[in-house]
Amino acid sequence: MRFGAECALEDLKIPSNSPIDVLLDGGVRTGLVTHVYGPAGCGKTTLALQLSISAALHGYDVIYYDTEEAFPATRLRQMLGDGKDTLIMQRITVSQPISFDKQHNCFLRLATKGGKSWGLQDLRVAIVDTITKHYRTEYTIKPHVKVFRKLAEQQLPALLKAARKFDIAVLLLNQVSSDISNARILKPVGGDAISRASKYEVKLEKEEDSNIGCATLTKAPPPMQAGKKADYAITGSGISQPTPHTN
């Protein structure tokens, strides 16, 4: 695995080999942005790792923007099992932008040069885990409008440009916050800006004391319809179909 200092063509579908693929009509599409959101512990990062593994097994390169600065290498090795980690991890490049500005530069670089800036021959997946981590921090110390516009008018368009220009599947992982009018309703951080940039959106939900969750397709292009659901289980090997013995 390589760690960096920074960070419509073929219409490929890259499967995550999880139940979420059913909602996405077979996998995460290149050339588009897919937005997955949910509370902590619902399986967002596990899904991203599983997609990374699948892409690598298909011979594709992956760039993983780890804004949380805590890339789960141990979890990745657990999911891979013995004997596969070296080949797969060579396909995954991890970038850890440490601020909102660094994140901004990473996305512009991706939109301009694609995988070439990393020396990657076949970059097909770009993951941001999470898209709003630095946004939330910046939001507390700078004018709200200025920060929001930088995300909505520069960073997200750069990711969309990268997806289209270089035929990359961009997967954005996002946190949630309580709705002002109803604390029980959880909404993705960043408002409508991320939704506008995304072609597909999936909400993940899971009870704290269970490893069984429910994924809901909340946005999709026609003829697909939002509202479709899929149950999933988080296990040692990743995200899988629940079984009667899964608990």
Confidence (pLDDT) at 6: 40
Give mean pLDDT, residues 155-172.
97
Going by C-alpha positions, the residue among 26, 14, 11, 12 that lies closest to residue 230 is 26
Confidence (pLDDT) at 191: 81
Give mean pLDDT, residues 165-180.
91
**Residue 119 exposed, middle or buried by CB count within 10 Å (0-12, 13-18, 19+):** exposed
Confidence (pLDDT) at 182: 65
Average pLDDT score over the chain: 90
Tokens of 175: 């946190």
Cα angle 161, 163, 165; round to 5: 60
Quick check: 84 pLDDT over 90? no
Lowest mean pLDDT among 24-28, 45-49, 176-180, 189-193: 176-180
Is 2-240 a domain of CATH 3.40.50.300? yes
Confidence (pLDDT) at 244: 74
pTM for this structure?
0.92
Distance, in Å, from the CA atom of 97 to the CA atom of 111, rounded to the nearest integer, reads 16
Domain residue ranges of the chain, discontinuous segments joined by +: 2-240
